[in-house]
Structure 1
Amino acid sequence: MIPALRVPATTHPRRSSTPHNNEVVPMALLKPTLPDVPDITEWQQRSRSERLQVLTRHWVDHGFGSPVLVYSFYLLKLVIYVGGALTFVAATPGIGGVGDIASWWDQGIVYQKLIVWTLLYEVIGLGCGSGPLTSRFFPPIGSILYWLRPGTIRLPPWPTRVPLTKGSRRTIVDVALYLVVLLGAMYALLQPGGMAVAGAEGAGLLDPLTVVPLIVALAVLGLRDKTIFLAARGEQYWLSLFIFFFAYGDQLIGFKLVMLALWWGAATSKLNHHFPYVVAVMMSNAPLIRFRAIKRLMYRDYPKDLRPSWVPTMLAHVGTATEYGVPLFLVFFGDGDILTWVALIYMVLFHLHILSTIPMGVPLEWNVFFIFSLFYLFGAHGTHTVWQLHNPWLLAVLLPSLVVLPLLGNVRPDLVSFLPAMRYYAGNWATSSWMFRPAALARMAEVLTTSCALPTEQLTRLYDARTAALMAGKVQSWRAMHSHGRAHNGLVDRVAGDDPDVIVIDGELIAGFAIGWNFGEGHLHDDQLLRAIQERCGFLPGDVRIVTLEGQPIQRQDQHYEIHDAALGLLETGTVTVAEMRARQPWPTDGRNYPVHEVHRTEAGNAAFAAAASPQRPGTSAGATPAATS
């Protein structure tokens, strides 16, 4: 859990009655909806399991419990995104003003500029991974506030294989490359177009050479810092920039193939037992679903059994079938007729539903982009089918990213980020839990150069220590409600037991704090980040330990985990089974006896856990664990 903060006891009156299922869940304007905890000191003295039972049951009815103002922030962000796109497009010579949308919305340069604008919007940090639902309260973004600062942490993807990428310290060169990305996108957005090509009437198209600086700078920067490339959603928008170099008719086909790969990649990622958990958790947090009866219908037997019921399981299957079947028809058989428009409207409603749930991670602009793409590619240009491709080199450019990487990412998720692997919001991601001694956490916050304070400190400034502790706990309840969170419950107990001096923080929050961005990518807060932080903080053995849990390969029914110590390195590896996760509730039930398999301990691990079993010596261990089992 995130720290049980030591604060003075306060009292709050308990509600005198239990809410009924048919009651509407209330929402406050400014204050979050939190569990009724009269005595915060007593609450902090409870075990992790006891606290999680309260917090996860509260999640069923209230989700994160966000105040109305949080959702207003995301609505405002959507207005900025749409308004920015309209501004850049309407300023293009040859295109009418904002009021003349009907005359220009289907022009080729409009879609090109929307791609560039969305990439810029994301790489600034305004899109995915921003705001309160990603534990960014003040400031609500990190990215640009962090990546323009030399000395901050960068994470190269292949430091031992790509020359000139070693190290974890951001240099002036990295900052300059990031500026080129920003300026290159702005340069492309301000270009007048004018390339008159067959089929692209009106203002024509962008000269493809205008996006060369953006393509090159983002590629070079991505080799030095994978975080920025992923934040730019390079697997979609950067790849789409290459399509600008083809004839207009082939551009339309290329964009359609990118959309198809995104839909099919997302559908493939849901061929597992994890996705029903995601659906249940998402529906509990959906702001438009206000009735408790509907929320509790997502679970087998509230409050005893919080595993997904048949309802989210059915919805999961419908979502998977939708992302396979409807895009298949649109791309290969749609020709602009009435059936094409029926399928198009169905997919628009599908993405509007996702948008309305305001999912954690908030990929809202991404869904708006999809909705516009549906109308542009399959509505306005529905008669232009993939069978009309002229230049086969387009496939040579696209297929490695649209086919090879997703296939590799599903078979070897440890080698490919879930974003280019297109394994989207399906509950099957790499994750991590970080365990700190209090002095180590304070040292990290003091030593690192960051764009923000730790989430609990941000919340304490906004509210008070009691609210901060409970809201931090709600983040942990969100993780616990997923299938992989149930494995983390057991693995954290395996390392730390129920030691009240160990502060457990979800790796997502560490990434947002330490590298400026977080969006569900566990490879950004694994042992590579731990080593980068250790270089700066010099922790002692036992000060900081992390548990990393890799995503499930599509051909296996287990997941690989590792335990690392900041000072000692790798301590233990093993696997946990998906079946065991599915059998459990979202709170620890048997302490450190969580079943693990294929366990291997390093020499450092044997020594560390042997020391942990003996009487504690200050600063030497993050907790106790039993002997490894297999």
Structure 2
Amino acid sequence: MGFFQPDLPVVDMAEWSKGTRSERIRPMARHWAEVGFGTPVVLHLFYVGKICLYILGGWLISLCTRGIDGFTGVGDWWSEPIVFEKVVLYTLLFEVVGLGCGFGPLNNRYFPPLGSMLYWLRPRTIRLPPWPSVVPLTKGTGRTPVDIVLYAALLVMTAVALFSDGTGPVPELDTAVGLLPVWQIAAILGLLAVIGLRDKVIFLAARGEVYATLAVTFLFAADMVVAAKLVFVVIWMGAATSKLNKHFPFVVSTMMSNSPVFRRKSLKRKFFENFPDDLRPGRLSRIFAHGGTAVEMGIPLVLFFSHGGWLTAVAAIVMVCFHLTILTAIPMGVPLEWNVFMIFGVLVLFVAHADLGLGSLQHPVPVLLLFLVIVGIVIAGNLFPHQISFLPGMRYYAGNWDTTMWCIKPSAAEKINKGIVAIASMPQAQLERFYGKDRAAIPIFMGYAFRAMNTHGRALFTLVHRAMPAGREDEYTITDGERICSTAVGWNFGDGHMHNEQLIAAMHERCHFAPGEVRVVLLDAQPIHKQTQSYRLVDAATGEFERGTVHVADMVTRQPWADDVPVHVLEGSDEP
């Protein structure tokens, strides 16, 4: 791993290029297993610097509050409830402008390193309403001046709250500074709700399932801290529940082999069954996976019910270490500031306010209702992942996501460049600009290897053969749906709900693809009560032409370069 240069696989380009897709993925997967993506050290330091700036920003914003004084006197004010409120809203703003999850090269975003606000303040960019046929005034996929004004208003209103003072003493929370005005919180939530109904992407990018839900607890005044604790518990235990599957060990082996902390190749190889021939997760990956799931499932209950003392201290240390493990791995998708925020939340809610619990509630009914709603969404998200994004479903880093793979002809790529209002160019063009045209194939296939190291990659690369006409695969460029989403809507974070049939239709409306120009594989996540995953094959011009299922057991027993997963066709045929 070089300081300035990426550590990419060394292959004989002439010979390597002659191989099948499976044969070309094999050396990339082996390289990933002992090196990772090969990110240069300077890029990791860049992300570390971004984390530091995020912390500094929250620190300075907290000081813009009457009664919160002293840059170096943080020990006197860090646990004030209004500081927690401001950090929540500050992080929401940080995310919704595009500086958080999905920022930069580790999310395949090179030029520019963010989309988000560059798209959402621009007319005619694509928006994706969640329920256009049900919710009035949300139909259509084009961004209008109304959408831009709503988004700008959210940014302004959040900034206003960040520079506001507290409303006065709240004895139940032992604060003389007080809390943010309720009307400001209500205005932010109202704007985010309206925006989310017009464009689900912005709501997801704001990490609404975390920060909006916590903002709802701010409406409960004296019960705010206990309600926020319950939200944290649901986040942790919901995420742990979603990891009760066969996919998660593959996430661990892929993430830890890419970690800048675990640098020795000999150690990285231990995360696999038998490097280089068997790259399924090894014993060390299974220990990390099952141990982490147990921590995330059990320790939050200890934190919530222990109410101080050595037990709370130990539990807090365990959860801080849990999030530091994820943070220091600097995972693809870079949910870095979220992990910093969760550590802050552990310390403020469960340590500084350890004495507050269910017995402290002044008005338990609204707190209970909020708890039931978010738990219900988590349950529904695990039972019906096709209907609910993995973010509100709390299925974080479980390895069980909706995914897509797009097969695009050069003529279609040209139509996309001309027909889509976008800031970023198509993924292959970005990679060619960054790595050079001759070497761009290597990072492209490293991206394939990343997808293939996860279980769903085996199914996706099997299904692309069915999506493209037999004998004509060379006419297409295979592109991960994440990268298409990044270009088309300005934000992506592992959620196939943002590049499913809705985006396909929106792009076809603008680009008028010919039949066969764009073929898409859509693979749904696994419902928690089933051992199969559903798929659909869609032609952008003519619609769906095949659907069926694949079995999880067939994916987890194969190697990353496998493209022979058994397919069970339910409707349609190989070609339209």
TM-score class, shorter-chain normalisation, is over 0.9
Q: Does 1:284 align with 2:245?
A: no
User: Does the Cα contact within 8 Å between 1:401 and 1:420 map onto a contact in 2?
Assistant: no
**3-state SS in 2 of match to 1:160:** coil
**3-state SS in 2 of match to 1:166:** coil
User: Does the Cα contact within 8 Å between 1:57 and 1:303 map onto a contact in 2?
Assistant: yes
Distance 1:387 1:48 in 2: 60
User: Does the Cα contact within 8 Å between 1:492 and 1:547 map onto a contact in 2?
Assistant: yes
Aligned to 2:499: 525
Amino acid paired to 1:239: T
Distance apart, 1:257 and its partner CA: 0.3
The partner residue of 1:196 within 169, 173, 178 is: 169
User: Does the Cα contact within 8 Å between 2:127 and 2:489 map onto a contact in 1?
Assistant: yes
Distance apart, 1:394 and its partner CA: 2.7
Amino acid paired to 1:596: V
- Using the aligned pairs only, state the percent identity: 47
Distance apart, 1:574 and its partner CA: 0.4
Q: Does 1:208 align with 2:182?
A: yes
Distance apart, 1:32 and its partner CA: 1.0
User: Does the Cα contact within 8 Å between 1:243 and 1:394 map onto a contact in 2?
Assistant: no
The partner residue of 2:390 within 418, 422, 427 is: 418
RMSD over aligned CA atoms reads 1.4
Aligned to 2:356: 384
User: Does the Cα contact within 8 Å between 2:179 and 2:221 map onto a contact in 1?
Assistant: no
Q: How do residues 387-402 of structure 1 correspond to structure 2 at under 5 angstroms?
A: 387-402=359-374
Distance apart, 1:294 and its partner CA: 1.0
User: Does the Cα contact within 8 Å between 1:355 and 1:367 map onto a contact in 2?
Assistant: yes
Aligned to 2:480: 506
Distance apart, 1:598 and its partner CA: 4.7
Q: Does 1:325 align with 2:302?
A: no
Amino acid paired to 1:310: R
Question: Which string of whole-angstrom CA distances, capped at 9 and with x for unpartnered residues, describes residues 51-102 of structure 1?
Answer: 1111111110111111112112211211221111011111111111311101
Number of aligned residues: 573
Distance 2:182 2:89 in 1: 12
Aligned to 1:476: 448
User: Does the Cα contact within 8 Å between 1:130 and 1:136 map onto a contact in 2?
Assistant: yes
* Bigger Cα Rg: 1
Distance 1:315 1:595 in 2: 30
Amino acid paired to 2:59: L
User: Does the Cα contact within 8 Å between 1:336 and 1:379 map onto a contact in 2?
Assistant: yes
Question: Which string of whole-angstrom CA distances, capped at 9 and with x for unpartnered residues, describes residues 219-239 of structure 1?
Answer: 001001000000001111111
Distance apart, 1:467 and its partner CA: 2.9
The partner residue of 2:216 within 242, 262, 270 is: 242
User: Does the Cα contact within 8 Å between 2:185 and 2:219 map onto a contact in 1?
Assistant: no
Distance 2:279 2:12 in 1: 25
The partner residue of 2:571 within 597, 600, 607 is: 600
Aligned to 1:493: 465
Aligned to 1:448: 420
Where does structure 2 lack aligned partners over 5 or more consecutive residues? none
Q: Does 1:572 align with 2:546?
A: yes
Q: Does 1:265 align with 2:242?
A: no
Q: Does 1:406 align with 2:348?
A: no
Distance apart, 1:388 and its partner CA: 2.3
Aligned to 2:158: 185
User: Does the Cα contact within 8 Å between 2:458 and 2:563 map onto a contact in 1?
Assistant: no
Aligned to 2:513: 539
User: Does the Cα contact within 8 Å between 1:429 and 1:550 map onto a contact in 2?
Assistant: yes
User: Does the Cα contact within 8 Å between 1:254 and 1:394 map onto a contact in 2?
Assistant: no
Question: Which string of whole-angstrom CA distances, capped at 9 and with x for unpartnered residues, describes residues 454-476 of structure 1?
Answer: 23322322331133221121111
Distance 1:422 1:302 in 2: 32
Distance 1:472 1:200 in 2: 55
Amino acid paired to 1:62: V
Distance apart, 1:588 and its partner CA: 3.0
**3-state SS in 2 of match to 1:247:** helix
Distance apart, 1:400 and its partner CA: 4.1
Aligned to 1:34: 8
User: Does the Cα contact within 8 Å between 2:406 and 2:521 map onto a contact in 1?
Assistant: yes
Distance 1:50 1:167 in 2: 43
User: Does the Cα contact within 8 Å between 1:431 and 1:507 map onto a contact in 2?
Assistant: yes
Distance 1:79 1:138 in 2: 23
Where does structure 1 lack aligned partners over 5 or more consecutive residues? 1-26, 610-630
User: Does the Cα contact within 8 Å between 1:91 and 1:97 map onto a contact in 2?
Assistant: no
TM-score, normalised with respect to structure 1? 0.89
Q: How do residues 583-622 of structure 1 correspond to structure 2 at under 5 angstroms?
A: 583-590=557-564, 594-601=565-572, 608-609=575-576
The partner residue of 1:233 within 207, 215, 220 is: 207
Question: Which string of whole-angstrom CA distances, capped at 9 and with x for unpartnered residues, describes residues 277-325 of structure 1?
Answer: 0000001100011111111111111111111112211211101100111
User: Does the Cα contact within 8 Å between 2:3 and 2:42 map onto a contact in 1?
Assistant: yes
